Amino acid sequence: MTPARSAIAALFDGMAATYDDLEPWYEHLYAVLHAILSAEIGPAPAAGGRALDAGCGTGLQTRLLADRAWRAHGTDISAGLLLIARDRLPDAELTFATVEALPYRDGSFDVVVCCGSTLSFVDDPGRALAEFGRVLRPGGRLFLEAEHRPSLDLAWALASGLTHNALGYDVPLRQAWHALVARKSVRVPYPGYGMLNLFTRRDLDDMLKAAGLVTRRAWGVHSITNVIPSTRLHRTRLSRPLGALYRVLRRLDTALAPTRAGRALANSLVLLAERAQSSA
């Protein structure tokens, strides 16, 4: 049974032709993500292993897994993105499916990867994480990237609201203030993407625990780079002075990624979790 076409699927189908034209914001995010993923997941064991890229898009992480000898699988709800992924990775097993109802047996995978803020777009994040836990074998690992609350970027959203949307965040002032000071996960709009889930670290850990997963390590991405409003980095090109500043901030942000400060201020949290071993 395939998922019904949703507004999110339509959104990403519309982006398919330009999805891989990474803006400066995404260039940095994926550079850091892929470096961490390569170091933490590494190559498949000699006996082989199965890895799932949940919310695979055009296959950026799927290809990275396949290049490291994992038997790569991927799912996505965007037919347009999957078409590109299938052309790029003809040997990967790619399936049209939602992460909230994965079409796999229990314990099917050694690794599940979920990046590209996939969790921020789903209606029921807890259910998606429960599905990741279900399809992982005992001892299997989940590599997760998710939008974080709080972050410096929410302060820019508030500033935008105070200045009649001068920074282009399109977030009402009251909503921006609530998102900045709330003690729990929130949903806020972002230009061009609709409503996004922003997760607190505590809420993510609680949902992972409920899914039978234990967080082992954490990183933060886009912490110090957030001194530049993200709306200024979601552009094809940066001016020469802003580009020079951003290159310096990227180096600092990469160094901060594994630190407490980097995690606390990050726009994106990256978590490595493990499926609990059976009591037997």
Q: What is the largest CA-CA distance in the chain?
A: 60
In degrees, rounded to 5, the angle at the alpha carbon of residue 154 between the alpha carbons of residues 9 and 58 is 30
CA 272 from centroid of its chain's CA atoms: 12
Q: What are phi and psi of 51, to 5 degrees?
A: -130, 140
Tell me which residue of 204, 66, 185 sits closest to 145, measured CA to CA. Answer: 204
Residue 46 confidence (pLDDT): 85
Which residues lie across from 154 on neighbouring strands? Answer: none
For the whole model, what pTM was predicted?
A: 0.94
Domain boundaries, the chain: 7-148+188-274
| Percentage with pLDDT > 70 across the chain | 97
What is the per-residue pLDDT across 131-182, written as a single tens digit (0 to 9) for each?
999 999 999 999 999 999 999 999 999 999 999 999 999 999 999 999 999 9
Q: Give the pLDDT score at 4.
A: 47
Over 80: is that where the pLDDT of 5 sits?
A: no
- 54-72: average pLDDT: 97
- The pLDDT confidence band at residue 3, using thresholds 50, 70 and 90, is low
Residue type, 182: A
Can you spell out the DSSP letters for 177-237?
Answer: HHHHH-SS-EEEEETTTEEEEEB-HHHHHHHHHHTTEEEEEEEEESSGGGGS-HHHHSSS-
Looking only at the bridges linking them, the beta strands covering 71-76 and 93-96 are: parallel
Structure confidence at residue 192 (pLDDT): 92
Percent of the chain with pLDDT over 90: 94
Angle at 57 between CA 50 and CA 134, to 5 degrees: 40
User: Does domain 7-148+188-274 correspond to CATH entry 3.40.190.10?
Assistant: no
| Cβ-contact 52, 135 below 8 angstroms | yes
